[in-house]
Amino acid sequence: MDFRQKVVYQIYPKSFQDSDGDGIGDMKGVISRLDYLQKLGIDVIWFNPMTLSPQKDNGYDVTDYRAFDPRYGTMEDFELLVKEAKKRNIDIMFDMVFNHTSTTHAWFQKALQGDAKYMNYYIFKEGKAPCIAPNNWESKFGGPAWEYVPSLDKWYLHLFDVSQADLNWANPEVRKECADIVNFWISKGVHGFRFDVINEINKWSFEDDPDNFDGRQFYTDGPKEQEYLRYLNENSFGKDPDHITVGEMSSTTIEKCAGYAGRNSHELDMVFSFHHLKVDYKDGKKWELQPADFMKLKELLLSWQTGMQEKDAWNAVFWNCHDQPRSISRFGDDTKYRKESAKMLAAAIHFLRGTPYVFEGEEIGMTNAGFTSIDQYRDVESTNIYQILKEEGKDEKEILHILNQRSRDNARTPMQWDDSENAGFTTGTPWIEVNRNYKDINVRKDLSDPDSIFAFYQKLIHFRHTMPIIAYGTIRPLLEKDEKVFAYEREYEDHKLAVFCNFFVEETDIQFNTEGYELLIGNYADAEVKDTMHLRPYETLVLYK
């Protein structure tokens, strides 16, 4: 099977399954749940970073790229996991954080001591004037993107938290270090790689940003980006075409991504892009709320589909990950129509042209965290933004309401396995609170229901494995002007597949020539295939001929 036929499951290791009662998930815990994942049918597990880290940003702040973080077990535990997964035909994908390291990394520590070799691993610059940063760029987690080091009388760049110093990819030694790290993990049996914010590694100019202050136009999709990706490919994962790779692309374009993930680009297999997950950002601002703009969502999803298709390039398709609130709370209905809307959202994604990613708990319809106090939040972005919004004079209640919708912690609460204390995640105190709805929403419950969300995902995954039209067919948008229904058609040899998804609670009619079609799957028991079809709340219908 190639990556077009596979489905990836994302595990947030901190929150999946704890085996030793310390409240943090670990490898032994994951091993104990591999049978569950095999039952679901997935092919690859992507783990968020599990290398040594002070966990300011939950592992995206790496202290040592080759050391397994003891929080998650030993290197032996990890190697056992790889073996046990392999037995079940599951590959492991690692998360490579190569845009920055933690400031606790030995390279940065040497740089701080003035070691010229290691200073050149990072981006140190002189200030514009005493006490004035080199430029006006802003960190993505709030505040300036530069930090002053008095002993060096220089500033270092950190596009994320102050504890995450950006690496200098212009330095060939840095590129080589990164390729060597990938090779190290390949030698441990890792078969896939996700590259964190990888389109930000080429900082090509350090001027002030005249438009807005964050500076992203000078470091996103830079002119050397493809050269760097090709270097990584040639010197590490590309040596075996079977390795599966995905790049996380921030604020990018279809044109750029078609380059990175084109069939013959020799860079990456596929890309994550996020435009469709910003349709509820008011004026593009994450911390300002507005209802999701459905027409924009449709337009974005479909233009990425057809745009990448035209260039023979490949998308990763997804609603959820560890950085996004739960899709069901965002685009569906997480109370009355939870089951219907979870299935509808799943169908919308799983029949697209691209490799689907399922984030832990999505397959049982887990919802946003429902936190009501800032003390419940753990995420550095959320706690930073809380402070910033407070300083701007926003009311506490309003800030909490915003975090409730937007915080990354909405996705990071522990996996809900059963209705026992802490949802079966840990016997200790979980590092982040379990969602209070775990007695109603949990794996055990779904496994005992043949009509569950889990059972629906199982079917979707099975279809991708067995129906070439899903993996290899072309895609064409349908009902483009419809204001409630997201629809598309796939075609392969003499087969066709038509997917209809009502994104609203309001019912609606659609017209479609159904001659020769039969129902492949839907989320209501008594659906009928007719030229005029009445779609009920969050109804999805998938037709095949």
Burial of 518 (0-12, 13-18, 19+ CB in 10 A): exposed
- Pick from 44, 97, 347, 469 the residue near ligand GLC by CB under 6 A: 97
CB 530 within 8 A of CB 495: no
Q: Is 196 in the site for ligand GLC (CB under 6 A)?
A: yes
Q: How far is the CB of 252 from ligand GLC (least distance, A)?
A: 13
The residue written with tokens 């009445």 in the block is 534
Q: Is 8 in the site for ligand GLC (CB under 6 A)?
A: no
Comparing CB distances to ligand GLC, the nearer of 196 and 280 is 196
How far is 94 from 76, CA to CA, in rounded Å? 16
Q: Is 108 in the site for ligand GLC (CB under 6 A)?
A: no
How far is 57 from 228, CA to CA, in rounded Å? 25
The residue written with tokens 């709340």 in the block is 537
Q: Is 18 in the site for ligand GLC (CB under 6 A)?
A: no
Q: Is 323 in the site for ligand GLC (CB under 6 A)?
A: yes
Comparing CB distances to ligand GLC, the nearer of 318 and 438 is 318
Q: Is 60 in the site for ligand GLC (CB under 6 A)?
A: yes
Instruction: Verify whether residue 196 is a known catalytic residue.
Output: yes
- Pick from 47, 160, 371, 438 the residue near ligand GLC by CB under 6 A: 160
CA-closest candidate to residue 307, choices 254, 259, 247, 252: 254
How far is 366 from 363, CA to CA, in rounded Å? 8
Number of shown-chain residues binding ligand GLC (CB under 6 A): 9
E-assigned strands of 422-516?
Answer: 474-478, 485-492, 495-502, 508-511
424: three-class secondary structure by DSSP: helix
Q: Which of 196, 225, 333, 539 is catalytic?
A: 196
541: three-class secondary structure by DSSP: strand
Sheet of 474-478: strands edge to edge?
474-478, 485-492, 495-502, 540-544, 518-522
Q: Which of 248, 433, 446, 539 is catalytic?
A: 248
Q: Is 279 in the site for ligand GLC (CB under 6 A)?
A: no
CA-closest candidate to residue 13, choices 54, 46, 52, 53: 46
Give the residue closest to ligand GLC by C-beta: 60
Q: Is 197 in the site for ligand GLC (CB under 6 A)?
A: yes
Q: Is 138 in the site for ligand GLC (CB under 6 A)?
A: no
| One character per residue 209-248, x = contact with ligand GLC (rule: CB under 6 A) | ---------------------------------------x
Comparing CB distances to ligand GLC, the nearer of 107 and 456 is 107
Comparing CB distances to ligand GLC, the nearer of 60 and 331 is 60
* List of residues contacting ligand GLC (CB under 6 A): 57, 60, 97, 160, 196-197, 248, 322-323
**Residues annotated catalytic, as ranges:** 196, 248
